Structure 1
Amino acid sequence: MSLPVLFPLRAVSTATVRHTDAPHGRRRITIDHHPLTGVTPAMLLDWFTHLDGTISYGGDVVARYLAWHPLDHIRWELDRPAPGGGAGEGARFRIVEAFGGDPRHAVDVVDRVEKLDETGIRLVTRFAGAILLQLEHTWSACVEGTHYVTVMDIGARSALMGPVNAHLRRRFPDDMARAWVRHNIEEVGQLEHLLPRLARSSAAPPR
């Protein structure tokens, strides 16, 4: 069951979105988000390395992943820990969600974390060594808080993978891409509300 939405969901108009077609049927979607006020790169790194944690939300203690997008997120699990343990580089994340809460736009994927540090996170799906899907979130400090950019690349670069890319485009059609864009803008915007509260609760002295 979905959690209540406690904080406003950002509109698509708050971000700059670009759709780019590339050779061999590849597609790139870039989202330049409105800055996250009160959020630091260190907070984002802590968030992504502790997605299995909990957070106080509406008077209850709930899974962080569910609070991150109360309408669309269904399940997150650490499919395989990083070589050093936990959710670091080399780990595999299982992500289950439905964009816009629509079962037609549901995904259940296992992605490898190929980068995770104070500058961002990169999630990759490979087949026979070739990258089929790459989702990268990059962040940096700015005057307002944190500048956050999301880039999704769909399809392999090799011309030989053209038929596979065509299949991926059918599996991720235009309407689903638009639903994902809205989902991503909404979930990134929620971090502006969740992370500062989480930081304050962590800093509060024990009673």
Structure 2
Amino acid sequence: MLESIGKTEFKAESSAKWVDIYKHWTGSLRIQIQHDTIKDVTPEMMKWWFENLGKTVTWNGEEVSLYHLWHHRDHIAITPLTNPKNKTNKGFAVGAFSLIEEQFNDFHERISARVYTTKLDETEFTFLIKKWGLTVGDIKHYYSPSKDGIDFYAETLIGINIPLLGWVINWLVLPFIYSKQTAENWIRHNIEETGQSEKVIPYLYSSRNGD
């Protein structure tokens, strides 16, 4: 699909307005990215996108996931695991679990994360990463209208917030699971996927009720 509309090139890391990696004294790691403006996208469109990332679109007779179109090199699938009360989960939904699967191909890193969405509206999309019955990560996305589209900020906090035991795990174990190098790889990936938003979201949003 992307080849046929000539929109396969990713934005460079330098396109971000600023990035930062910070190691907290508890051993947790915080990664921040203030992205370049996402052109021709509104907050309503961004909310719709996150809500429907588990769906597929038919293109030239082939079924392709929306999540794959967002980053055709790294993204594998978004799988809804549970439904919130009185609503169907089609990707992410407040009060529901979803499974994120990615492959950082250039770095041979496979990501499989079970996440729980805590907020999803026209201003924010936030979810918690769950493992071993604990919250091991917190990923936030904030977006707001700007002159040409939306301003977009992403923040990831990796670590266990439990006094003493959590700090020990964060300092001694976390570097082997999610290191500073992993954070730098994620920054590149996140800038690339966010940059693709202005290429695929307006197109898919405008045809969301058709073929």
Q: Which residue of 2 aligns with 1:191?
A: 197
Name 2:38's counterpart in structure 1: 36
Distance 2:104 2:151 in 1: 24
Q: Which runs of 5+ in 1 are unaligned?
A: none
Q: Helix, strand or coil for the counterpart of 2:81?
A: strand
Number of residue pairs the alignment of both structures matches: 202
Tell me which residue corresponds to 1:113: 117
**Which residue number in structure 2 is paired with residue 27 of structure 1?**
29
Share of identical aligned residues, percent? 29
- In 2, Cα distance between equivalents of 1:142 and 1:95: 29
More moved, 178-187 vs 158-167: 158-167
Query: Is the contact made by 1:49 and 1:86 (CA closer than 8 Å) also made in structure 2?
Result: no
Matched, 1:49 2:51: yes
| SS of equivalent to 2:84 | coil
Contact 1:57 1:67 (C-alpha < 8 Å) held by counterparts: no
Retained in 2: the 8 A contact 1:39–1:192?
yes
Please give the TM-score of this superposition, normalised by the length of structure 2: 0.86
Find the residue that maps to 2:36 and give its secondary structure: coil
Distance 1:135 1:31 in 2: 12
Task: Output one character per residue of 1:146-189: Cα deviation in whole Å (capped at 9) or x when no partner.
Answer: 00000000113343211221322320112221111111110111
- Residue 9 of structure 1: SS of its match in structure 2? coil
Asked if 1:99 is matched to 2:104, the reply is: yes
Counterpart in the other structure of 2:13:
12
- Cα distance, 1:106 vs structure 2: 1.2
Compute the displacement of 1:100 (Å). 3.9
Alpha-carbon distance in structure 2 between the residues aligned to 1:184 and 1:175: 14
CA deviation vs aligned residue, 1:186-205 (integer Å, no higher than 9, x gap): 0111111111111222377x
CA contact (8 A) 1:124 1:131 kept: yes
What TM-score, normalized by structure 1, do the two folds share? 0.88
The 3-state SS of whatever aligns with 2:57 is strand
The corresponding residue for 2:72 is 70
Specify every segment of 5 or more residues in structure 2 that has no aligned partner in the other structure, as ranges: none
How many Å apart are 1:129 and its aligned residue?
7.2
Secondary structure at the residue paired with 2:11? coil
Report the aligned-residue RMSD: 2.3
1:148 to 140, 152, 161: 152
Q: What is residue 84 of structure 2 aligned with on the other side? A: 82
Q: For residue 123 of structure 1, what is the amino acid of its counterpart?
A: F
8 Å contact from structure 2 (residues 38, 149) kept in 1: yes
